[in-house]
Structure 1
Amino acid sequence: MNMLNFRNSIRLLLIVTLFLGTLTITSLGAIMSTANAQVNKPTIVLVHGAFAESSSWNGVLTKLIAKGYPTVAVANPLRGVKSDAAYVASTLKDIKGSIVLVGHSYGGAVITNAVNGNKNVKALVYVAGFAPDAGETAIELSGRYPGSTLGPKLAPPVELTDGGKDLYIQQDKFHAQFAADVPASDAQLMASTQRPITEAALNEASGAPAWKSTPSWFIYGDRDLNIPPAALSFMAKRAISKETVVVNGASHVVMVSHSDAVAKLIDRAATAP
């Protein structure tokens, strides 16, 4: 190799090295920017309701995670409003930064009682969820307006050793009652994996409601057969909902059948000033 070619090779090597270095710095900057954005986002904590479990949030979780939100889907014990709320409240204590608390169905009653003075909770999102006032119960609220057909679809109660009773929905009635707008094969899996709630939990009076001091958002389907849409509308208006979305044709599991609409509402609640 002559001296001219040698010098040209050195110049090319230097150019490539500088170019790669610039790319590395730029990539690192992008990564750091993304990381900072995620750190600044509130953590979304999702609480399922009766006859469901944490995987009922999978569609919503996928969309929230794609937006960079830290997420936690809590396994709701479904034993009683006060004890379930205390359990959820204990999980919130370890979360740094702001929190958006989301509850489905009976999980709405739980989040109503779980804030318990936690100043990090910036918003409540009720997904076909109960938003009881002090002294109200899930049973009373769902029966206040016509439209719920849940009672006759329940299986015979399972007697517990402490004298309580566990409630399930009959598996062959689950699709039509709970998840009519979900494919039958998916509804069968949900029926098989449903978690029971105690009869006492549905009859337990709620405590002081967090929605009186924490901004709330509501979304539900107009074909909900568990909680009458009229009851959900009443609770949303009473809580002075920042935004209420009614999904046409949606069943009680609106977060499964319309996960995009639910994720978008949670995002709006999380980004609200």
Structure 2
Amino acid sequence: MSLPTVVLVHGAFADASSFARVVPELLADGLKVVVPAVPNRSLSGDAEYIGSVLAAIEGPVLLVGHSYGCSVITVAGVAENVEGLVYLAGFVPEEGESLGELQGRFPDSDLAGALVATPFPGGVDLSVDIEKFPAVFAHDVDPAVTAVLAVSQRPLSAVAFGENASAAAWRTRPAWGIVATSDHAINPEVQYFGYRRAGVDTIEVDSSHLVMFSQPAAVADLIRTAAKAMSAARAS
């Protein structure tokens, strides 16, 4: 059975290392894995960058996103070689909808009061207050690990929250997802809403926002399930 290449797309305030506990499990299964560094500059720009990564991959792709990365894969996932999507504790917008609009339908999470704005030439970067990072992002993760993550954040440009999604790949691709039920960064109701609207095959995991660190086995299992389902569909 031919398995897809798994492309793991990190979210805001994180980098590719956020998948560090999941990658070894996938490699041990013989899956090909690519974990690009997302610029976190704008939704359209980040999706275009991921599109360039996808264009360099031969064969089918299973595109996995976490948090803000879920919105990125929703746009980038219309690439021809993407055959499935996996959403991890994230935003799943409709075409023409911004993350701000999607979030605005529901009460704010603790993240809203923990953001720090830092001007840079041409814009404003958002990051999470280092002292608040553990409680907001990773209350169930090893504190020693969380301390490193808190000081090594990849900021997100504020413009990304107001930019409309130019596509919704879930309309034409099968999708699987995890709702992190103890998430303090993205209200779980935001996750449920987006997943239901998109017809995502959903499981619930009692986890903080960093579900890949908190529950790596559950994340790896869902990716395996999606990869096998894609391969079976291709073979039928």
Smaller-chain TM-score range? over 0.9
RMSD, aligned CA: 1.1
Whose helix proportion is higher, 1 or 2?
1
Distance 2:127 2:35 in 1: 21
Identity %: 43
Preserved CA contact (<8 Å) 1:78 1:198 = yes
> Is residue 2:85 matched to residue 1:132?
no
Q: How does 1:149-228 map to 2 (within 5 A)?
A: 149-155=110-116, 157-162=117-122, 164-228=123-187
The whole-number CA distance in structure 1 between the counterparts of 2:144 and 2:157 is 27
**1:77 paired residue number:** 39
Deviation at residue 269 of structure 1 after TM alignment: 0.5
Determine if the alignment matches structure 1 residue 66 to structure 2 residue 28.
Answer: yes
Could you list the runs of 4 or more consecutive aligned residues of structure 1 that deviate by over 4 angstroms after TM superposition?
none
In the aligned structure 2, how far is the partner of 1:123 from the partner of 1:235?
A: 16
Q: Could you list the per-position Cα deviations for residues 18-66 of structure 1 after superposition, in whole angstroms to 9, with x for gaps in the alignment? A: xxxxxxxxxxxxxxxxxxx6xx321000000000000000111010000
Q: How far apart are residue 131 of structure 1 and its match?
A: 1.0
Code of the aligned partner of 2:217? D
Residue 144 (1) aligns with residue 105 (2) = yes
> Are the counterparts in 2 of residues 147 and 225 from structure 1 also a CA contact under 8 Å?
no
1:66-93 CA distance string (max 9 Å, x none) = 0000000010100001010000000111
Give the TM-score, by structure 2 length: 0.94
Runs of 5+ unmatched residues, structure 1: 1-36
- Greater length-normalized contact order (CA 8 Å, ≥ 6 residues apart): 2
Question: How far is the alpha carbon of 1:220 from its aligned partner?
Answer: 2.3
Matched residue, 2:80: 119
How many residues matched?
230
For 2:22 and 2:216, the matched residues in 1 are separated by: 5
Partner SS, residue 145 of structure 1: coil
TM-score w.r.t. structure 1 length? 0.82
Match for residue 18 of structure 1?
none
Of the two, which has the highest radius of gyration? 1
Q: How many angstroms apart in 2 are the aligned matches of 1:159 and 1:57?
A: 28
